[in-house]
A and B are shown apart, each in its own frame.
Chain A
């Protein structure tokens, strides 16, 4: 029986490409379709980690099946990248987020599930509960909201052991060996499967580059959209919790701002540019004298007036 690995990932807009006018007026219905979507950075680590783990397991004589699944919008280029990188299956559950019956008074324009981590986890859990994966990987957090809630809520709903802040993962006797970061240092754990591993900052930072020929070989493939069970234990539990999430709907009860609002600070510094080129040495000397010298151990700059 092959070891079954699933990677939960999310695609997000490249936020640095969003124009200022859209930030100024942002709401859940703001159209960001002009912005390229990329893998969440921690999810990308998890995706690559799964493929490396498969290679390591196969080198030991095992067989592994890697599946990537998402409840977020999945642009075709990203889907093809996953197939070309080596995932056997790619599952698109975003239709369950967008479709018929949200569990409660979801803001009608919020069809992407953004800012609804428990709802997202409910959809993922509805599929994963009966799918029988040995190892589930996920990135620790992803914009828009960067709540970091989905994988942990998923682990609780599925009743799986969970290890966070994973840096590296390798097969070992009895399960997997995990190197993780903690608040106080690094730890090495050997754990049994099944398991949900949440990937944090890792040296495995990016999904492998795929060749044009690899892309062309998978050009006809597309993501599966599996039917989700009408109700599963995990989904029901998470949907109940999802009812507690801010919905974003304006109402007489919550007032004109609703329970959900966005704002943006605009920077207001006027940068003074110092000369460069032939005068760079003079500029560096000014900076050194005024800002770099004189910091003592207690954090006071004796050269500055009014240092704290």
Chain B
């Protein structure tokens, strides 16, 4: 079977996640191809190397996004469809980013094949393959069998370190490269105007080793701002539970959890967070978790290493001292 991965660009951090998920379930004769919807940069180093790399594009002048862009989603889908017609992979795997998720579901509908989204693991049991994802607000894991191929998957998980010596063909820096230009970039007729603004830097929650988290127990935006200043003293970013963010106390991009960022820190300080499973889905299970809450029965204390039964304001005052 040919397994295809569609990263958004050559340095996509999900490439290491792909290798970590696929290598254990890859059969000996399975081929891996990367289909990149961007022009080749000439500086890419592939380690481990897939068996083939296909580039799309071209990008618009001055635009490095390539086809991974809302204006060109239709063109990207047609490009992926044409590659599928030519290569006939058994699995097409896409990162579970905003754009990746849309491409995956729409591609599966166009190809007439099954779609499995948000897989945190891919399991092999003999000849059977399963995806595993968190469901029911992360209270359960759901294993769904991929019984028909081809299938399209999206994968999610914390940024992983590149695996070592995992490619059966050894580390190769130069796989066969092919170019499959997608054709001219034309705007869809339904799009009257487009403007990008507020370009986001990388989200610090995705890479920080120490994270503070604010929950509804903080009680106000003022208290959250105070916790942010405390966190900054220790060089840490501040994340939010979903209820706290949707109160307007923090940016929606700072939500930790199933509908937000899946973090990989080594230590967390959660203040006023109840510990709902949907939030805990964004917390690295192996990390040290310190929680502060006035409710000794709060679910979060089932997951914590250190707990303090106290109010947020008094705890912050103690840290500031």
Pair A291/B105 contact, Cβ less than 8 Å? no
Pair B267/A146 contact, Cβ less than 8 Å? no
Pair B191/A280 contact, Cβ less than 8 Å? no
Pair B190/A192 contact, Cβ less than 8 Å? yes
Mind listing 19 A-B residue pairs with CB under 8 Å? A23-B139, A118-B115, A143-B136, A146-B259, A148-B117, A156-B106, A161-B190, A175-B190, A190-B193, A192-B189, A201-B253, A241-B109, A254-B147, A260-B143, A264-B140, A267-B303, A291-B269, A299-B207, A300-B209
Pair A269/B303 contact, Cβ less than 8 Å? yes
A282 to chain B, nearest CB (A): 9
User: In the complex, what distance in Å separates the CA atom of A287 from the CA atom of B135?
Assistant: 34
User: In the complex, what distance in Å separates the CA atom of A189 from the CA atom of B318?
Assistant: 47
Question: Interface 1/0s, chain B 190-201, versus A by CB < 8 A?
Answer: 111111111110
| The one of A41, A245, A291 that contacts B242, using a Cβ cutoff of 8 Å | A41
Pair B196/A185 contact, Cβ less than 8 Å? yes
- Chain B residues within 8 Å of A223, by CB: none
Pair B139/A284 contact, Cβ less than 8 Å? no
A156-B109, A246-B144 as given contacts; A181 in contact with B98, CB under 8 Å: yes
Question: Interface 1/0s, chain A 275-291, versus B by CB < 8 A?
Answer: 01100110111011001
The 6 closest A-B pairs by CB, nearest first: A201-B252, A284-B318, A259-B145, A156-B109, A299-B209, A244-B114
User: In the complex, what distance in Å separates the CA atom of A23 from the CA atom of B235?
Assistant: 39
User: In the complex, what distance in Å separates the CA atom of A185 from the CA atom of B203?
Assistant: 11
Is residue A271 contacting chain B, with contact meaning CB distance below 8 A?
yes
Total A-B Cβ pairs within 8 A = 254
| Interface size classification for chain B | 35 or more
- Chain B residues within 8 Å of A260, by CB: 142-145
Pair B197/A185 contact, Cβ less than 8 Å? yes
| The one of B102, B110, B246, B269 that contacts A205, using a Cβ cutoff of 8 Å | B246
Is residue B170 contacting chain A, with contact meaning CB distance below 8 A?
no
- Chain B residues within 8 Å of A26, by CB: 136, 140
B residues sitting closer than 8 Å to A (CB atoms) are 8, 65, 68, 70, 97-99, 101-102, 105-106, 108-110, 112-115, 117-118, 133-137, 139-145, 147-148, 151, 188-200, 207-210, 234-236, 242, 245-246, 248, 252-253, 255, 258-260, 266-267, 269, 276-277, 288-291, 299, 301-310, 314-315, 318-319, 321
- Chain B residues within 8 Å of A288, by CB: 319
| The one of A146, A181, A264 that contacts B118, using a Cβ cutoff of 8 Å | A146
User: In the complex, what distance in Å separates the CA atom of A235 from the CA atom of B117?
Assistant: 21
B254 to chain A, nearest CB (A): 10
Is residue A195 contacting chain B, with contact meaning CB distance below 8 A?
yes
- Additional A-B contacts beyond A147-B115, A244-B148, A292-B319 (14; CB < 8 A): A26-B136, A145-B135, A146-B118, A149-B115, A186-B196, A186-B200, A187-B197, A190-B192, A192-B192, A240-B112, A254-B147, A284-B321, A287-B269, A291-B288
- Chain B residues within 8 Å of A180, by CB: 70
| Interface size classification for chain A | 35 or more
CB-CB nearest in chain A for B145: A259
CB-CB nearest in chain A for B264: A299
A34 to chain B, nearest CB (A): 15
- Which residues of chain A from 48 to 107 have any CB-CB distance to chain B below 8 Å in the complex? none
- Chain A residues within 8 Å of B113, by CB: 241, 244
Is residue A5 contacting chain B, with contact meaning CB distance below 8 A?
no
User: In the complex, what distance in Å separates the CA atom of A240 from the CA atom of B133?
Assistant: 24
